[in-house]
Structures are given as structure tokens and as C-alpha cells.
Amino acid sequence: MDVNPKVSTMLGYSKGELLALNISSIHPNEMDALQSFAHSVMEHGQGWTNELTCLTKTGDSLPSEISASSI
């Protein structure tokens, strides 16, 4: 729905490019953790914070901490 402008800069994508990507394009090795996130937020309303590795547009790995909650 939206993209943090700082994330766009850090990953090297425009807002439009990020919104068009599938989450597995940015976190290809983190899908199990992201499924766990979706389960806890959507079904239990619990917030979630975890360390994940993002792939930049150039293919570099970028360690990051990601937080999310249901609104």
C-alpha cells in the first residue's frame, strides 16, 4: 500500500518499483519468517519485530530490522 521513502533509498528502488515487487524479491531467503509474521499479525493481532536480510536492486545483501503491526 505504501513504501517508506528511506527504504526506497536504501534498497535502490523507486516507490513504484517496490510496490510492484513480490515480497520474495526483497527477502528471497526469509519467506518462512515472513509467513510466521503474517500469521501472528493477521490472526492474533500481535506486533512483530525481526532481523531479516533484504536484497537491494543491485543484488547486495542489506541486514535490517523490520517491525509491523496490525492497524
pLDDT the model gives residue 10: 93
Per-residue pLDDT for 70 more than 70? no
List the grid coordinates of 60. 547486495
Q: How far apart are CA 62 and CA 11, in angstroms?
A: 8
Out of 3.10.110.10, 3.40.50.1100, 3.30.450.20, 3.40.50.10860, select the CATH number for domain 5-68: 3.30.450.20
In this predicted model, what pLDDT tens digit does every residue of 8-63 receive, in sequence order? 999 999 999 999 998 888 877 877 877 877 777 777 777 778 788 889 999 999 99
Reported as a pLDDT band with limits 50, 70 and 90, residue 68 is confident
- The domain limits of the chain are 5-68
Residue 67 has pLDDT above 70, yes or no: yes
Show Cβ contacts of residue 17 under 8 Å, excluding neighbours closer than 6 positions.
Answer: 57
